[in-house]
Amino acid sequence: MKTEEKLSKYATTIVAGNRQFTDWTVTVINDEDFVIRNAFERWMNAINGHATNIRNPAALLVGSYSVDATVTQFGKKGDNIKNYRFVGCFPTDITPIDLDWGSNDTIEEFSVTLAYQWWESIDDGVV
Q: What separation in angstroms does the CA of 7 have from each of 10, 11, 102?
A: 8, 6, 57
Q: What separation in angstroms does the CA of 17 have from each of 4, 77, 117, 121?
A: 6, 40, 16, 21
Predicted TM-score (pTM) of the model is: 0.79
> Within the chain, which residues score under 50 in pLDDT?
none
**pLDDT number for residue 110:** 96
The SS3 assignment for 50 reads: coil
The Cβ of residue 52 has, within 10 Å, a number of other Cβ atoms equal to 9
**pLDDT number for residue 124:** 66
**pLDDT number for residue 14:** 81
